[in-house]
Amino acid sequence: MASFRDKFWLTLLLTTPTVVWSGMIQHWFDYTAPRFPGSAFIPAVFGTIVYFYGGWPFLRGGYHELRNRLPGMMTLISLAITVAFLYSALVTLGVVEGLDLWWELATLVAIMLLGHWIEMRSINQAQGALKELAKLLPDMAVRLDESGTTKEVPVAELTRGDLLLIRPGASIPADGVVKEGTSAVNEAMITGESKPMDKAAGDRVIAGTVNGQGSLRVEVTGTGDETALAGIMRLVEQAQTSRSRAQALADRAAFYLTIIAIVSAAVTAIVWPLLGRPWSFTIERVVTVLVIACPHALGLAIPLVTAISTTIGARNGLLVRDRRGLEEARLLNTVVFDKTGTLTLGSHRVVKTTAAEGFTDDEVLRVAASVQRDAEHPIAQALMTSANERGIDVPMSQDFKSMPGRGVRAVVEERLLHVGGPALLRMLAVEPPETLRRAAESAAADGQSATYLVEGDRVLAVFAIADAIRPESFDAVKRLHDNGLEVVLLTGDSTAVGNAVGKELNIDTVFAEVLPEDKVAKIEELQAQGKRVAMVGDGVNDAPALLTADVGIAIGTGTDVAVEAGDVVLVRSDPRDVPAIIALSKATYRKMIQNLWWAAGYNIVAIPLAAGVLAAWGIMLQPALGAVLMSLSTIVVAINAQLLRRAVRSP
């Protein structure tokens, strides 16, 4: 970019005397440039320097295009400036009679260099987010030795197993696991999640994220290319370089436009002399045709949109692995969700609490979690997790005893309490009140586990425990329905569980009790009905289905971004990002089509004008004006692509 910038400014400086001493310019603006011996050759001398210095990138590019038998924009530019140079040189040397085109040549090269500089700046800005990711990693890290002494070392020296001290406000230099300390870490730059994530011992942290107010001791699990940040950068770079159908269309359009321009220039060169026009007029028309038809903007139309869309996606937690997947997302009419870990949390919670008369839900959950505090059963974990998420302070218990197949018992605040399933009630010979019995039956009908809290001969509560639905799933399904898409649930769980989740989320179709190897058949069944299907899954168990679907959307996490099966990876595992992908796809496609028209559509009118079809009425385009129009289309394409940044908003 700096090379084109410097070349443009020097070429502009060389162009100035070429224009000032041009006889045509002096005639148009009615002035006389200073005269001295040799001043008549100033346009030729400076124009020649501009041709070889400023025009060299185009001449070299045109040579490579022709050598590879792929004529394109460099071919047209080099043809235009070479024709103008040779003709002007012959006129200056007196070999042929006519008006030279030195000033047109010089201004044409200057404008073309300006257009290239603007193009490179636009692409550089579009890829700025990727470069910003690289800046997230700090240069230095604070490493702890076995004695606890700190030492500041370069990040490049870190290895797996190193223990790091992460001070408040510091960037985390490597992926790792918290060994000691509590804090909240800002992961927005990696996952797009605006809310800082609480971290404690055992939690994973991501390189490039920013620690909050607490101090953490972190054991390194990944450095350099092994980090999540490096994985994100690889995926974004891969997406920006992968080809799409729209890019193939743009390439074909550029090729055909090149052929049309060359043919039009040849016809122009033949017809005007036959009509009695002088060679100066004919060459000027030929140069203008070649310049104005240059598919420069076409070469920028799609790659720039792609660069912007993939960096927008990465900034919002949507990693595009394959541009074709992003392009296809706009055509979807059916979205298939895996249940566990996608629409649900993937771990059990208390989804409903029914307390006996005289007790509150929080009160019974508090003591039930206390009874199960020392147990390792999933039911115990569900009670403890649900209590913690509700901010309930769980007291210590005493005299804990496990009763296999029945439940557990413990003393909580001098009360002997039991927690367990129906077998516990039979052992204790107690009957729940009618409201609790109906709640337990309702839970069983929905495929949920019913767990009872018992004190003495009285049942105090029943807890419905299941894989809890993500709160974001409700909004995700609603957004998809609002956009006219059918939503399908695909799960290996029982029909009762599948139907219960489907009913609660208002899902259109539920396929339950589907084995992993049978998920592909379900996707193909939907496709056979003429539906364009996206599959949303965890990217491991659902890999075959993700690959079979028209668009595979892999649920990832902040530290697991290299999911190979999906076209798109949802870094923060938020199902609301699925409608965001579709919105980005539609907006990206709109910008691509708009840019193709901006880049090539004006040629429908411009090429005939450049060839001089309205010359009889005095309407003609000069080569420099043709270069301005062509460069203007490049600028419009660049600005239009930048407007894509408004397309995606975080949930």
277-336 residue pLDDT tens: 887 788 878 877 877 776 666 666 777 787 788 778 877 778 777 777 888 899 999 999
Q: What is the pLDDT of residue 560?
A: 47
Q: Catalytic: 100?
A: no
- 228's enclosing H/E stretch is helix 228-241
Q: What is the pLDDT of residue 52?
A: 93
* Predicted TM-score of the model (pTM): 0.62
Mean pLDDT computed over 499-510 = 90
Q: What is the pLDDT of residue 247?
A: 58
Q: What is the pLDDT of residue 55?
A: 86
The residue from 338, 550, 560, 577 that is catalytic is 338
CA gap 185, 559 in Å, rounded: 14
Torsional sign, CA 470, 471, 476, 482: positive
**For residue 115, pLDDT beyond 70:** no
Grade residue 559 by pLDDT with cuts at 50, 70 and 90: very low
CA gap 517, 71 in Å, rounded: 49
Query: pLDDT tens digits, residue range 525-550?
Result: 999 999 999 999 875 557 778 878 88
Concatenated DSSP letters for 232-263? HHHHHHHHHHS--HHHHHHHHHHHHHHHHHHH
Query: pLDDT tens digits, residue range 392-442?
Result: 888 888 888 888 778 889 999 889 999 988 888 888 989 999 999 999 888
Lowest mean pLDDT among 104-108, 229-233, 391-395: 229-233
Highest mean pLDDT among 184-198, 343-357, 546-560: 343-357
Q: What is the pLDDT of residue 497?
A: 78
Q: What is the pLDDT of residue 120?
A: 65
Mean pLDDT computed over 193-202 = 75
Structure tokens at 96: 């042929």
3-state secondary structure 11-50: HHHHHHHHHHCCHHHHHHHCCCCCCCCCHHHHHHHHHHHH
Mean pLDDT computed over 105-114 = 78
CA gap 161, 581 in Å, rounded: 37
CA gap 453, 459 in Å, rounded: 6
Structure tokens at 218: 């972190």
